[in-house]
Chains A and B, each alone.
With several copies, the nearest count.
Chain A
Amino acid sequence: MRKVYLDHAATTRLNEEVLKEMLPYLTEHFGNPSSIHSYGRKARAAIEEARERVATALGAAAEEIIFTSGATEANNLTIRGIARALREKGNHIITSAVEHHAVYDTCLALQKEGFDVTILPVDEYGMVSVNAVADAITDKTILVSIMLANNEVGTIMPIAEIGKLCRERGIPFHTDAVQAIGNIPVNVDNLNVDLLSLSAHKFYGPKGVGALYLRKGTRLSVYHHGGAQERKLRPGTENVAGIVGLGKAIELAVKDLEPKANRIRALRDKLQEGLLAIEHTKLNGHPEQRLPGNLNVSILYVEGESLILSLDLKGIACSSGSACTSGSLDPSHVLMAMGLDHQTAHGSLRFSLGVDNTEEDIDYVLKVMPDIVARLRSMSPVYQGGSK
């Protein structure tokens, strides 16, 4: 059976070149980077080279990069670390209603601990407005955290403008850039950000490793305690092979970004056109300000998990914002924040394209999709067209 992977926003296949660079650090160069003997120095050098690579990719300095176990940790470190470091200055945090849970839930937790948290709404396309940020800022604001691109609907936020605003007000500004790296240009100076999170496995790197960019001079409290690794901001023996992989992966991700993105966008547009030709379907996310590989559609009258599994039986991998796939009883908070009704949210499908996808992949999806939708609709008590 044909296998078509269209879930690159969930994770990506490790690039072979990346694995090749990692392997020596999974075999002969196994030293602990904190050791001062030759084994340790070899590992240390590899980490510092990876740090340079990440910094170069982001337009940052090497000493501004802190390696973590992923973006979840980088986001938690940011929010808790800033909240604690600046507690004396204020207690107000601004974020958006469509952030990843690693930001959203951490802010909610701080709210319970007594912080004043403003959760900005989004428009029907999932977009945060610059004016809303401006209006929300107070004298007590110590952090603004708005994602660069949304993981479900791909909407790209006006980060540079929000960053400019925060800079003028002297407020640390964080962006979760997990979905953006390798898909759109990400430069910390152009974006006016002070902190930025990323996760290697979203751009053909290994799972379990990420990084936080921390602009020089930005205060951050220690969150974890342990050894002296990563300037004590992230103690624990380093995942050396993972860090090496992250370094190589980001180097490759930002290379030829434009032509890669154009190719993916063309395939995505074709898939979009084909899927929206099925009746009772709807595009979610911003029509233009959207990641090139993202396509989120609602297929009315059917539920997302059934769709995913039906597609999976045909070898096609994608995801959904349906409650049935989220581990909670409610559908995606992102889709709900965009004003979708429950049914439309439950019937959402996210296809996310990557560098390996081909025209044939898209043709195949478009070939099998109509029958799947028809079959599930024929079972649906809410689909009138389905009554015989």
Chain B
Amino acid sequence: MYTEQVMDHFTNPRNVGEIKDANGVGEVGNMKCGDIMRIYLKVNEDEVIEDIKFRTFGCAAAIATSSKITEMVKGKSISDALKVTNKQVAEELGGLPAPKMHCSNLAADALKKAIENYQANRAKQR
């Protein structure tokens, strides 16, 4: 059903947890469909993602895509990070089962929300 990469990220997820002093937080999903992803960002002065963590309630695909995206964007600029799509995340994991492409492939959306939250916070600070 799942690729080895998905199972790897599900069993050994990277960057699980919270960032206490995060400057960007984003959450997508809802309890109805059963997947909730929350992403915490620590973006530095140069607009580079210095640290990123996630918490996810959901199936293996949801956990793996969350884990994968944190790995993909850690150390990247937020403008590069914004270019990452859900589809790319799935591809990096060797693909997802068809029914999971829609419901559990939301990590890029969560990241986008976290970056927007960071930008909003920044704007307020100015």
Chain A residues with CB below 8 A from B60, complex form: 305-306, 309
Which of A136-144, A265-273, A280-288, A326-334 interfaces with chain B? A326-334
What mask results when residues 345 to 370 of chain A are scored 1 for a CB within 8 Å of chain B, else 0? 01000000000000000000000000
Q: Answer whether residue A197 sits at the interface, using C-beta atoms and an 8 A cutoff.
A: no
Q: Answer whether residue B33 sits at the interface, using C-beta atoms and an 8 A cutoff.
A: yes
Closest chain-A Cβ to B94's Cβ sits at a distance in Å of 16
Out of B59, B61, B99, B100, name the residue touching A322 (CB < 8 Å). B59
B57 touches A302 (CB 8 A): yes
The listed residue with most B CB atoms (<10 A of its CB), out of A323, A342, A386, is A323
Closest to A327 in B: B99
B55 touches A381 (CB 8 A): yes
Interface residues of A in 1-48 (CB under 8 A from B): 36, 41, 44
Please report the C-alpha to C-alpha distance between residue A283 and residue B56 in the assembled complex, in whole angstroms.
24
Q: Answer whether residue B48 sits at the interface, using C-beta atoms and an 8 A cutoff.
A: no
Please report the C-alpha to C-alpha distance between residue A324 and residue B101 in the assembled complex, in whole angstroms.
12
Q: Answer whether residue A129 sits at the interface, using C-beta atoms and an 8 A cutoff.
A: no
Please report the C-alpha to C-alpha distance between residue A41 and residue B13 in the assembled complex, in whole angstroms.
23
Please report the C-alpha to C-alpha distance between residue A386 and residue B16 in the assembled complex, in whole angstroms.
12
What mask results when residues 375 to 388 of chain A are scored 1 for a CB within 8 Å of chain B, else 0? 00011111100111
**Given A303-B34, A342-B31, A342-B32, is A324 in contact with B59 using a C-beta cutoff of 8 Å?**
yes
Chain B interface size range: 20 to 34
Closest to A301 in B: B57
A382 touches B57 (CB 8 A): yes
Please report the C-alpha to C-alpha distance between residue A36 and residue B97 in the assembled complex, in whole angstroms.
12
What mask results when residues 46 to 69 of chain B are scored 1 for a CB within 8 Å of chain A, else 0? 000000000111111111000000
What mask results when residues 9 to 49 of chain B are scored 1 for a CB within 8 Å of chain A, else 0? 01101001110000000010001111111100000000000
What mask results when residues 287 to 315 of chain A are scored 1 for a CB within 8 Å of chain B, else 0? 00000000000000111111001000100
Q: Answer whether residue A221 sits at the interface, using C-beta atoms and an 8 A cutoff.
A: no
Closest chain-A Cβ to B2's Cβ sits at a distance in Å of 8
Chain B residues with CB below 8 A from A44, complex form: 1
Q: Answer whether residue B82 sits at the interface, using C-beta atoms and an 8 A cutoff.
A: no
**Given A381-B37, A381-B38, is A324 in contact with B104 using a C-beta cutoff of 8 Å?**
yes
Q: Answer whether residue A239 sits at the interface, using C-beta atoms and an 8 A cutoff.
A: no
Q: Answer whether residue B84 sits at the interface, using C-beta atoms and an 8 A cutoff.
A: no
Closest to A228 in B: B99
Closest to A387 in B: B18
A379 touches B16 (CB 8 A): yes
Chain A residues with CB below 8 A from B104, complex form: 324
A322 touches B34 (CB 8 A): yes
**Given A305-B60, A306-B60, is A379 in contact with B31 using a C-beta cutoff of 8 Å?**
no
Closest to B31 in A: A342
Chain A residues with CB below 8 A from B56, complex form: 379-381
**Given A36-B1, A301-B57, A381-B55, is A346 in contact with B37 using a C-beta cutoff of 8 Å?**
no
Chain B residues with CB below 8 A from A111, complex form: none
Please report the C-alpha to C-alpha distance between residue A341 and residue B31 in the assembled complex, in whole angstroms.
9
Chain B residues with CB below 8 A from A309, complex form: 2, 7, 10, 59-60
What are 30 A-B pairs with beta-carbon distances under 8 A?
Answer: A302-B57, A305-B58, A305-B60, A306-B10, A306-B58, A306-B60, A306-B63, A309-B59, A309-B60, A322-B59, A323-B34, A324-B58, A325-B59, A329-B32, A329-B33, A329-B103, A379-B16, A379-B56, A379-B57, A379-B63, A380-B55, A380-B57, A381-B37, A381-B38, A381-B55, A382-B31, A382-B36, A383-B57, A387-B18, A388-B18
Residues of B within 8 A of A (CB): 1-2, 7, 10-11, 13, 16-18, 27, 31-38, 55-63, 99-100, 103-104
Contacts A41-B1, A306-B58 supplied; 8 other A-B pairs, CB < 8 Å: A36-B1, A303-B62, A305-B58, A324-B104, A342-B32, A346-B34, A381-B38, A386-B55
